[in-house]
Amino acid sequence: MQDMKVLRFENPGRDYCLVVADAPVPQPGPGQVLIQVTAAGLNRADLLQGRGLYPPPPGAPDIPGMEVSGTIAALGPDVTDLTMGQPVCALMAGGGYARMALADAGSVLALPKGVDLAEAAGLPEACFTAWTNIVDTGRLADGESLLVHGGTSGIGVMAIQMFAALGHRVFATAGSDGKCTACRELGAARAINYRTEDFVAAVMDATGGKGVDVILDMVGGDYVQRNIAAAAPWGRIVNIAYQNGARTQVDFTPVLLKKLTLAATTLRGRTPAQKQHIRDALAARVWPLIAAGRIRPVTARRFAFDAANEAHAAMAQGGHIGKILLEL
Ligand SMILES: NC(=O)c1ccc[n+]([C@@H]2O[C@H](COP(=O)([O-])OP(=O)(O)OC[C@H]3O[C@@H](n4cnc5c(N)ncnc54)[C@H](OP(=O)(O)O)[C@@H]3O)[C@@H](O)[C@H]2O)c1
């Protein structure tokens, strides 16, 4: 069996590092494809995995990496809708920090016209996460407004662009004036520097006191109560992370009075069929907007495969706007 270069975590915990190692090239089973990887997208969850706080779901490879771009190198026996050599990007539960990576065919998307193949590695995790949390769980309807916390995160830069392009009024928060400018350039109607402004007051002011219909939150902690205050009647608040803490004291009275829905979801452990459902929606609704140049991947920095520790340090430091990529 052929070997390939991969990255593995060594010394999991606070002082983890990534080391280059050899591993057998995986073979695609039914419903899977093998991708020769051009680039892998970094995700904050990769840092948590290195620290031993976010193990891969059962059955997923222990090699990190949840999204890649590249070309199809082998097809599983029953895969008919993808072709050898096709440039693609794909979501996966693990195994992306490698020269060759397996993906479920239903989690693969064709490279959109006009997009650089390496930069496409930054699309899957952000697009799948933003779409399913804002549309499937958040039920964002025509004419409704959206607040995206972490507007310049890998997730945020896609969420702002996608829903601004689909005609929604999008608000975003970010931690500096420079990041707020970037949010506005991506399509946010109003960007709020959370270090100098109260986002609840800003959103209430911008909506004439009504509040915002859907909130995508990755902060948690005191944002839970403040999101409730910023939500419009019948609003939906969806958490994808609790970076400021998953424990907090909440007064649920306004949830009741405003008839709000509070939700939280993860993407990684969903079934291939559930991911395919999101993939199909992205292919129909978002990929044409990317091909038309109305949405673009936002790449903060690219690192070489053997500089993966520097890439992780850059994400931990947090100055980036958009995605950090590893080039394989
Ligand atoms: N549940 C899921 O399925 C799922 C899927 C993907 C990602 N996620 C989560 O989504 C988050 C973003 O992921 P990513 O890979 O895009 O990470 P990332 O690029 O590193 O972004 C992290 C973001 O969090 C913001 N942030 C951190 N602390 C904050 C605070 N106290 N107040 C306001 N904003 C704060 C940062 O904003 P500033 O830099 O402006 O301070 C930054 O934009 C991560 O927490 C990740 O775990 C969840």
- Ligand 1 close to Cβ of residue 50 (< 6 A): no
Query: Separation of 218 CA from ligand 1 center, angstroms?
Result: 5
**How would you label 185-210 residue by residue, b for 16+ Cβ within 10 Å and e otherwise?**
ebbbbbbbbbeeeebbebbbebbeee
Question: Which pLDDT score is estimated for 262?
Answer: 98
**CA-closest residue to ligand 1 atom 22:** 153
- Ligand 1 close to Cβ of residue 240 (< 6 A): yes
Query: Separation of 105 CA from ligand 1 center, angstroms?
Result: 28
Beginning with the edge strand found earlier in the chain, give each strand of the sheet holding 190-193 in spatial order: 190-193, 169-174, 145-148, 212-217, 231-239, 261-264
pLDDT tens digits for 170-221? 999 999 999 999 999 999 999 999 999 999 999 999 999 999 999 999 999 9
Question: Which pLDDT score is estimated for 241?
Answer: 98
Question: Which pLDDT score is estimated for 53?
Answer: 93
Q: What is the mean pLDDT of the chain?
A: 97
pLDDT tens digits for 104-139? 999 999 999 999 999 999 999 999 999 999 999 999
Rounded mean pLDDT, 222-237: 99
Query: Separation of 3 CA from ligand 1 center, angstroms?
Result: 35
Query: Separation of 189 CA from ligand 1 center, angstroms?
Result: 20
- Ligand 1 close to Cβ of residue 137 (< 6 A): no
pLDDT tens digits for 66-103? 999 999 999 999 999 999 999 999 999 999 999 999 99
How far apart CA 38 and CA 201 sit, in angstroms, is 44
- Name the pLDDT band for 163 (thresholds 50, 70, 90): very high
**Global pTM exceeds 0.85:** yes
Q: DSSP 3-state assignment of 115?
A: coil
**CA-closest residue to ligand 1 atom 41:** 175
Fold of 128-264: Rossmann fold (3.40.50)
Question: Which pLDDT score is estimated for 205?
Answer: 98
The two most distant CA atoms of the chain are separated, in Å, by 64
- On the question of pLDDT at 52 being above 80, the answer is yes
Give the CATH number of domain 3-123+270-327; options: 3.20.20.140, 3.90.180.10, 1.10.287.3510, 3.40.630.10: 3.90.180.10
Domain range summary for the chain, segments of one domain joined by + = 3-123+270-327, 128-264
Pocket test for ligand 1, best of 42, 43, 198 (most atoms within 8 A of CB): 43
- Name the pLDDT band for 28 (thresholds 50, 70, 90): very high
- On the question of pLDDT at 1 being above 90, the answer is no
Percentage of the chain lying above the pLDDT 70 cut = 100
